[in-house]
Structure formats: C-alpha cells, structure tokens
C-alpha cells in the first residue's frame, strides 16, 4: 500500500522525497530481497528504494518528469491511480 499512502495527499513527489519515503517504508516493514527486482541482500534500503522506483517507472506504474529547474518528480500513472481508487472503494464496501 505504499502507493496509496504516498500519493493519497500529493499528486506529484520529488525524486528525493519518494526515495526517502520508500526507504523508510522498506525499513519499517523489514522488506527483504526481491529476486525479480535485482535487489540483493547487501543493498541498503536507500539502494533498494532507488531500484524499486526505477523499475516501477520502467513498467509504467509511475511516470516521471523534470520541472523547469531540472528536478525530477514522480506521480502515479493514470492506470495505477485508477487501480488504487478501485481497491480503496472495495475496502469501503
């Protein structure tokens, strides 16, 4: 539920902010290695967060863009946003 928690209040998030949030999320939940994401046990939570975010952008879960100063921002793709909305509506019922 990282996406729902992260993007519930904010539509777009800076690269630094999303990496820090995901790193904290992974550490709090003590997430271990994910073989499909090329994440290894020796990776720090920060390195894991960067790899996850890159993979999520590559497969279309997130979109990214640069603002006028060159800072990278991430937001949910429209498909991801609709899926999360659907899941949250199921939870209400």
75 alpha-carbon distance from chain centroid: 9
Closest C-alpha among 11, 20, 15, 9 to residue 57 = 15
Give pTM, 2 decimals.
Answer: 0.81
Total number of domains constituting the chain: 1
Q: What is the pLDDT of residue 10?
A: 85
CATH of the domain at 41: 1.10.10
Q: Measured between alpha carbons, how far is 70 from 25 in angstroms, rounded to an integer?
A: 26
Token pair 């890159």 in the structure block, residue: 54
Closest C-alpha among 48, 83, 50 to residue 64 = 50
In DSSP terms, 26 is beta-bridged to: none
Q: What is the pLDDT of residue 27?
A: 87
Domain that holds residue 74: 2-92
Q: What is the pLDDT of residue 30?
A: 76
Q: What is the pLDDT of residue 8?
A: 80
Chunked into runs of 10 residues, the chain (93 residues) has average pLDDT values of 84 95 88 62 84 93 95 95 89 68
């Amino acid at each position: 539920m990282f996406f729902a928690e992260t993007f519930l209040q904010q539509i777009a998030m800076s690269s630094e902010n999303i990496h820090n949030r995901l790193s904290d999320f992974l550490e709090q939940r003590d997430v271990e290695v994910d073989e499909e994401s090329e994440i290894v046990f020796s990776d720090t939570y920060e390195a894991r967060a960067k790899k996850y975010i890159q993979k999520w952008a590559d497969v279309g879960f997130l979109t990214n863009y640069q603002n006028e100063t060159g800072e990278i921002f991430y937001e949910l793709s429209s498909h991801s946003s609709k899926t999360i909305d659907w899941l949250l509506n199921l939870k209400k019922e």
